[in-house]
Amino acid sequence: MATSDTISSAVIEVSDRDFQQTVIEQSRRVPVVVDFWAPWCGPCRMIGPVLERLAREANGAWILAKLNVDHNPRTASRYGIQGIPAVKGFRNGQVVSEFVGAVPEPQIRRFVDQLVPSAADTMAAEGQRLEAKGNLAQAETAYRHALRGDANHPAALLGLGRMLFQQDQFDEALATLQRVPMGKPERREAEGWIAKASFRQQAALSGGEVEARRKLAANPDDLDARLALAAAMAAKGSNREALEGYLEVVRRDRGVFRQQARQSMLNLFTLLGDEHELTKEYRPQLAMLLF
């Protein structure tokens, strides 16, 4: 077992005194697996060597920190340790995964694999860094590279969708953003970009605001033109006028135009958010007309 003076090695000992620096702060740079154990614990002696071997095999991809719960009760209490061995994976200062008990080596390997960033994770993070710096072409390349390694990577799909939207490539942006997996944290942001891209796409297909207004001036009953004008307003951020336009279509029609207007209003509510004043104002109006 390694000692605390080999802090850069794959396996280290930690204590109450240095846990914040050695585990929490270090996990912001590289994942840290903490093995809460005690010398008298038979199951601890079963999985301890497995963890140590896997840590050394990882060659620095993650670090194993061993904490003797008998000697360090403060940290054990802080993390609610009631049974040992207890193993927790730290990343970016937080516990992101854990297990308790002497589990088989294949399960330990899966635990570690899920904790350590994949090549796709690394490339998606690089894309986010480049995007934040305004290097959009390089960010797009990084996101596409990540997706070659993992075609369903949520962060890479979301990032690429943003890049395509900013290049007015709305068809590909929509197709990419709609692939962000349901239930992932990135999906909520993706829904907002999907709504934006849909409005831009609809506005472009209909000829834009000027053409829609021309058609409506010639025929106020042209519901297709009303939908087109509402989409053009949503695309440029005139959200109240867009919602009024869609609501008028819902009032006038009982068929396919109503369904299109209803879905567009729901998309705009998603884009604005549940707490936005326009969502609170127009959602009840839509519900009254529908029900």
Taking each helix axis from N to C end, the angle separating 154-166 and 185-205, rounded to the nearest 10 degrees, works out to 30
Spatial neighbors of 206 by CB under 8 A, at least 6 apart, are 212, 224, 225, 227, 228, 231, 232
The residue from 34, 41, 55, 229 that is catalytic is 41
β-sheet bridge partners, residue 91: 94
- Catalytic (active site) residue 154: no
- Catalytic (active site) residue 247: no
The residue from 14, 23, 44, 157 that is catalytic is 44
**Greatest distance between any 2 Cα atoms in the chain:** 88
Give Cα 156 distance to the centre of its chain: 9
- Count Cβ neighbours within 10 Å for each residue of 156-165 and write b for 16 or more, e otherwise: bbbbbbbbbb
Record the tokens describing residue 62, joined without a space.
Answer: 């993650």
Q: Whole-angstrom Cα distance, residue 160 to residue 154?
A: 10
Q: Whole-angstrom Cα distance, residue 273 to residue 252?
A: 26
Are 233 and 212 in contact by the 8 Å Cβ rule? The answer is no
Cα angle value 46/49/53 (rounded, 5°): 145
* Active site positions, annotated: 41, 44
